[in-house]
Structure 1
């Protein structure tokens, strides 16, 4: 199949590589200010490229997030809003559109997107043993063995830094005694070890990115390759993964393409759902009507430009019954929680962690701070509102403060408009808890029994409207 000319950047079609990490929060790379973690390769790409400071995921849950990124659709519009579910239809994707354009399309590492999206890839390396403990071992072979007569798109997906932490060549890289513990966790030895091991796995992700970059340079493909680095959801700790705060829903996002994009930092608000149409526009490929996101290509050459007014996210079942919706602007974050009777402690893997066990013990001792107690709070407020410029970590709920009453009403109205226009719904019989909320143990009664998927009532998988922008 012939390759069209990219009318914007060059006469040579660009290569694309998306590196997507598993369970890493936005500020856990060195280039985002984390002084404890070691990410020299990522930091180098950020220094020579474009760092986005307000890239927002559509959900903080791995399979719905990955499917959303690949299809450019909100989770409830894919029919796969819950963890470990698959799209209802064979949606167009980044891969399928680039394959139609004549690209070699390949994947290596964690898959987690169901069967239908496989159609967009020429080659898929999703064998767990072959991919290795961190999910990166097939990245170099996939790149080496591609069809070299065509430009390429690769989706390189690690398992890092998903729990459990396994012993590997990077274990012990970070010293527990030197790490800084966030206010939401207990500052004790087991928690520090937990964080240090998490950083070790991030360094492994960084190392393998460096190996790919070295091979690109060796093959003469580095200058014509747009490299994108991101994560699918927040770090696997209490109050992070699955949560609607920035620690769960905001992703690190770095774009690197020598001499083709402007170096620097973009403060523009983007939804990571916008990545799909952006990649297609950069490659001169057709953007399908099913994509709900919009291309932010202009930011690649003009980082100071504005883009979105609003980004939206959702929290659906991920081990536990949940239904939260969020709207984020550059200044505020508003959450609507339709299951406020439940504590919001995080997924089962986080509940089994030393960090959560330390929180439980502090709760028994009666010494939890307000920030640490957040994961145990029930009933919760049905609504939360935060001012981001003065409350980076979203500790101070402004609901009830008269100063922000108009902001509250405006954001709730826009969020409800988005839910209506995209066909979202709040089923009475959502999928219930499959695991306990105190230690992540499996609940045998009702295990693997699904409820009604959000959006099913309005056939949201057939709706392409994107809502307010």
Structure 2
């Protein structure tokens, strides 16, 4: 069967910064990623709006900022939580955010337009996943399960480079192997730290092998040329001063895009945010939708002058920081100036590097980079020329000649912060604005069914909802489009979904 639509494949790794040879670090051998880069574009300025996984992924699936969604606190949602179960980190109930703005998982738009959408297998959006988002979401999800000739959007998530794998995959390395390790900037010369870094490079090599398997399957199916492939990480690297950091080490990620048009290749320095991914996919697929995005398409166009990011709660500690960035400069706003940049995260204490940094801090043997990280105070603003100062070591706020740069970025940042629905509220105040004091999840109105001899029309009776239906013997929900006439075979079910509301499921008799 002939197919005129492009396919889409996302290859998503976890917790990695620019530790790849396509960015000049040849410590890990990555022939498959290198080959993909040769066929595509290597993006130099791709950023997540949040340097930790679940908030970051919420922006990918919706095209909205976590501070708009209410997903900015890590971690807030627990799929298996019982009613009003308390989060031990916050003493607040677990919750799935209720955005003020209309929000729709963009894969629903793909599915409504004939795409087969699969996710293998991590969702983790810090909010309930739309039951209509995927045709398949499991460890067995694959484009090969679709009807032959059907266009697809497939996501494969690779856990091998996750922060936890640094200590889980550690082995005893030879002295010679450790001597040749390339340490990240300003990390202390210590064999324990070198061991962690080397393990991460070994994990990257395993990642490359796994990516090679998927790409080989795509080529074996004759689909490589007609498939747009994105390779990227969900946020920055696994080490202290990387993951959970609003600096470039936490926000800037590796990103390669192989487009169907192979004349578009090389390097790109345009600014890209994760909120741009969803609108880009729909732009390429020529799909229009009624729900808004906060991102813009970067397909063969450069529409962005600034990118924005935020950090809030990580487990039990909160540090409200905001940033805005142009191609040259970055401004950071610190909501709390009386605490260090460093935040103790118990989970991270399992990493040898973190424990060694703690020890070196106590003995005052750290260099300036990490001494500043542990410093008891922060400046209200930090200004860096990130095009020349990737590690953000030279704060330009004390230089009068950068006053105009500061004022311009401050205006942009404060305007973005003002537009945020939830980013300016404490977590408890945010929950009060979303839900009643009892944290009661609001209900949706029951839809209305209009039947005639030609079929059925569904009236949702709700604003900003996604509607799905299926025959009672079917597993997968079909996306319902407004004024669509459906012809169920027998008794059938209708599902309504809106983030933050109770999922409505109703059975109708034909």
Same fold (TM over 0.5): yes
Structure 2 partner of 1:441: none
Residues of 1 paired with 2:280 and 2:261: CA distance? 18
2:148 corresponds to 1:148: yes
Q: CA deviation at 1:260?
A: 4.3
Residues of 1 paired with 2:423 and 2:196: CA distance? 38
Q: Matched residue of 2:322: which SS?
A: strand
The partner residue of 2:15 within 4, 13, 23 is 23
Residues of 1 paired with 2:340 and 2:151: CA distance? 48
Structure 1 partner of 2:31: 40
Q: CA deviation at 1:210?
A: 0.6
2:387 corresponds to 1:389: yes
Q: CA deviation at 1:345?
A: 2.2
Structure 2 partner of 1:418: 416
Residues of 1 paired with 2:105 and 2:172: CA distance? 36
Residues of 1 paired with 2:387 and 2:71: CA distance? 33
Structure 2 partner of 1:446: none
2:329 corresponds to 1:332: yes
The partner residue of 2:222 within 185, 206, 220 is 220
The partner residue of 1:193 within 192, 195, 204 is 195
Structure 1 partner of 2:128: 115
Larger Rg: 2
Residues of 1 paired with 2:38 and 2:423: CA distance? 42
Q: CA deviation at 1:154?
A: 0.9
Spell out, residue by residue over 1:377-410, the C-alpha distance to the aligned partner (whole angstroms, 9 max, x if none).
Answer: 1211121100123312111111121121221122
Residues of 1 paired with 2:160 and 2:290: CA distance? 32
Structure 2 partner of 1:342: 339
Say if 1:163 and 1:349, in contact at 8 Å, map to a contact too: no
TM-score, structure 1 as length reference: 0.81
Correspondence list, 1:49-88, <5 A: 49-84=40-75, 85=77, 86-88=96-98
2:108 corresponds to 1:96: yes
2:234 corresponds to 1:236: no
Residues of 2 paired with 1:403 and 1:366: CA distance? 35
Figure out how many residues of one structure are paired with residues of the other and give that number.
410
TM-score, structure 2 as length reference: 0.75
Residues of 1 paired with 2:208 and 2:318: CA distance? 34
Correspondence list, 1:61-460, <5 A: 61-84=52-75, 85=77, 86-88=96-98, 91-113=103-125, 114-125=127-138, 131=139, 138=140, 142-165=142-165, 175-260=177-262, 262-299=264-301, 306-319=302-315, 320-345=317-342, 347-427=345-425, 429-430=426-427, 451-453=428-430
Q: Matched residue of 2:318: which SS?
A: coil
Say if 2:46 and 2:252, in contact at 8 Å, map to a contact too: yes
Q: Matched residue of 2:249: which SS?
A: helix
Say if 2:8 and 2:152, in contact at 8 Å, map to a contact too: yes
Q: CA deviation at 1:227?
A: 0.5
| Change in 2 beyond 3 A, CA 1:69/1:13 | same
Q: CA deviation at 1:163?
A: 2.8
Q: CA deviation at 1:364?
A: 2.1
Residues of 2 paired with 1:219 and 1:169: CA distance? 36
Residues of 1 paired with 2:385 and 2:29: CA distance? 30
Spell out, residue by residue over 1:307-354, the C-alpha distance to the aligned partner (whole angstroms, 9 max, x if none).
Answer: 311101111111221211100000001000112222222544333311
Q: CA deviation at 1:251?
A: 1.2
Residues of 1 paired with 2:209 and 2:321: CA distance? 36
Residues of 2 paired with 1:402 and 1:91: CA distance? 43
Say if 2:160 and 2:207, in contact at 8 Å, map to a contact too: yes
Say if 1:241 and 1:247, in contact at 8 Å, map to a contact too: yes
Say if 1:384 and 1:399, in contact at 8 Å, map to a contact too: yes
Residues of 1 paired with 2:400 and 2:21: CA distance? 39
| Change in 2 beyond 3 A, CA 1:170/1:52 | farther
Moved more, 250-259 or 216-225: 250-259
Q: CA RMSD in A?
A: 2.7
| Change in 2 beyond 3 A, CA 1:425/1:60 | closer
Say if 1:55 and 1:269, in contact at 8 Å, map to a contact too: yes
| Change in 2 beyond 3 A, CA 1:456/1:318 | farther
| Change in 2 beyond 3 A, CA 1:81/1:11 | same
Which sections of structure 2, spanning at least 5 residues, go unmatched? 78-95, 435-462, 465-510
